[in-house]
Amino acid sequence: MLQIKNLHAKVEDKEILKGINLEVKAGEVHAIMGPNGSGKSTLSSVLAGREAYEVTEGEVLFNGKDLLDLAPEERANEGVFLAFQYPVEIPGVSNINFLKTAINEKRDYNKQEPVSAKEFLSLVKEKSALVELDAKLANRSVNEGFSGGEKKRNEIFQMAMLEPKLSILDETDSGLDIDALKIVANGVNKLKSPENATIVITHYQRLLDYIVPDFVHVLYNGRIVKSGTKELALELEEKGYDWIKNELKV
């Protein structure tokens, strides 16, 4: 589904991604861990198409298409979804209006009819229940005045509404209380299918107890320096990143 080959990217003349290689197949869950500032959010931003990041080398294929050649909205409509580490507040734009616009643009992209009011409402009901998002929040401005945890739930709610093929969850667990963590993880699991794939970026092994990854990668200084199975996350939790840094020095 996703093939990242030797991806280099810089921001304001500072190279942050220094040759990333990663392949994600349909049905898989990949976890990316790594110390602060190692480039995890940069990788997600580059995949989602944020303009500030300049790709200097490498390529990214998404279901055979050159992802880097597409505008952010085209990537989304092809099925890429990024749950932001820091969701943006948009005063005045109602969550509902925003989602309806998004769904209809996707339908338009896929040459489908716009969603009917009734269909849309029942979707909202179903999907907000999935992440136990308070119905009142759906009617407020996008993320405005939402608590940290509510913002994260709202990201997963949007993901549920848009049914992406590839979801990238950038530290969706941070800011969630223990119950919310379970709810959100449960939501993600319910949306899982053999046709879609998930990349979870996290600092905490705990999330991976709920969203069980097939692969765990360690991103350090702009490169994936170690990959393994879910046991790698446990090892990291226990030993921290120093042993990997030391390993690299040798």
Distance CA 121, CA 184 (A): 21
Distance CA 175, CA 153 (A): 10
Closest to Mg ion by CB, 106 or 151: 151
Question: Of another protein, ligand ATP, Mg ion, none, which one sits near residue 49, judging by CB under 5 to 8 A according to partner kind?
Answer: another protein
Using rule CB under 5 A, residue 44 touches Mg ion: no
Question: Of ligand ATP, Mg ion, another protein, none, which one sits near residue 42, judging by CB under 5 to 8 A according to partner kind?
Answer: ligand ATP
Site string for another protein, 14-53 (x = CB under 8 A): ----------------------------------xxxx--
Closest to another protein by CB, 141 or 227: 141
Point out which span in 77-85, 145-153, 210-218, 222-230 binds another protein (CB under 8 A).
77-85
What is the DSSP pairing of strand 90-94 with strand 141-142?
antiparallel
Site for another protein in 152-181 (CB under 8 A): 158, 162
Using rule CB under 8 A, residue 133 touches another protein: no
- Give the amino acid at 50: R
What is the DSSP pairing of strand 2-11 with strand 54-62?
antiparallel
Q: How far is the CB of 97 from ligand ATP (least distance, A)?
A: 29
The torsion angles phi and psi of 61, rounded to 5 degrees, stand at -110, 135
Nearest residue to 81 via CA among 185, 166, 173: 166
Burial grade of 181 (CB within 10 A; 0-12, 13-18, 19 or more): buried
- Asked if residue 166 lies in contact with residue 27, where contact means CB atoms within 8 angstroms, the answer is no
Q: How many residues bind another protein (CB under 8 A)?
A: 32
Among 34, 39, 87, 213, binds another protein (CB under 8 A): 87
Using rule CB under 8 A, residue 141 touches another protein: yes
Question: Of ligand ATP, Mg ion, another protein, none, which one sits near residue 26, judging by CB under 5 to 8 A according to partner kind?
Answer: none
Q: Which residues bind ligand ATP (CB under 6 A)?
A: 11-12, 14, 16, 34, 36-42, 52, 85
Neighbours of 177 (CB within 10 A): 10
Nearest residue to 81 via CA among 7, 179, 170, 185: 170
Distance CA 84, CA 54 (A): 19
Residue given tokens 């401005």 in the structure block: 141
Chain residues in the site for another protein (CB under 8 A) = 48-51, 71-73, 75-77, 81-82, 84, 87-93, 97-99, 101-102, 105-106, 109, 141-142, 158, 162
* Interface residue list for Mg ion (CB under 5 A): 40-41, 85
